[in-house]
């Protein structure tokens, strides 16, 4: 009859413990890294996902107060806007603390979107100067 000693530490039990510890650490690290990547990606995504053809991430239509409209085609680093006043602009992605912000180099044109809403500021200093104007406001996604 074989006698089993359960409380005896052997070399292979130590090796198994090291593998379990390292495997748990490796698994946890990779799960955390993937979670952070998904979190970062979703934080910068514009509202409603609808199309992915020709590099377009989103193709969204907004209806604004006073009857104005915006069509926005979101790409990785910029947005192409078609405004109801006939203008067509491509505006690069800019730094934003909340929502998605797109601005030209001198920031005289700024397009903001957050959730299902958007607005456009224009003027000499659209980010806070006295001559700024919100030209498209109270815009919401239309389906």
Q: Domain 53-142 maps to which CATH number in 3.60.21.10, 1.10.1370.20, 2.40.128.200, 2.60.40.10?
A: 2.40.128.200
pLDDT confidence of residue 78: 93
* Mean pLDDT (whole number) for 59-84: 93
Task: Kindly state the tokens that stand for 36.
Answer: 């952070």
State how far the Cα of 72 lies from the Cα of 90, in Å rounded to an integer.
10
Q: Where are the domains of the chain?
A: 1-43, 53-142
| Cβ atoms 58, 73 nearer than 8 A | yes
Q: What is the pLDDT of residues 99-140, one digit of tens each?
A: 889 999 888 999 999 889 999 999 875 445 566 788 999 999
Pairing between β-strand 58-63 and β-strand 88-94 as defined by DSSP bridges:
unpaired
Q: Output the six-digit token pair for 9.
A: 């530490």
Among 1-15, 28-42, 98-112, which range has the highest average pLDDT?
A: 98-112
Q: Name the average pLDDT for the chain.
A: 82
Secondary-structure percent of the chain, ordered helix, strand, coil, rounded to 5: 25, 35, 35
């Amino acid at each position: 009859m074989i006698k089993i000693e359960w409380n005896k530490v052997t070399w292979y039990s130590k090796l198994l413990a090291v593998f379990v510890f390292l495997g748990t650490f490796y698994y946890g690290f990779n799960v955390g890294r993937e979670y952070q990547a998904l979190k970062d990606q979703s934080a910068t995504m514009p509202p409603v996902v609808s199309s992915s053809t020709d590099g377009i991430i989103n193709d969204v239509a907004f209806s604004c107060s006073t009857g104005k409209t915006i069509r926005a085609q979101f790409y990785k680093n910029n947005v192409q806007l078609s405004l109801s006043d006939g203008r067509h602009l491509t505006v690069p992605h800019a730094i934003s603390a909340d929502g998605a912000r797109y601005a030209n180099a001198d920031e005289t044109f700024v397009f903001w979107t957050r959730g299902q809403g958007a607005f456009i500021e224009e003027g000499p200093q659209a980010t806070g100067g006295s001559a700024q104007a919100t030209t498209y406001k109270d815009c919401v996604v239309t389906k």
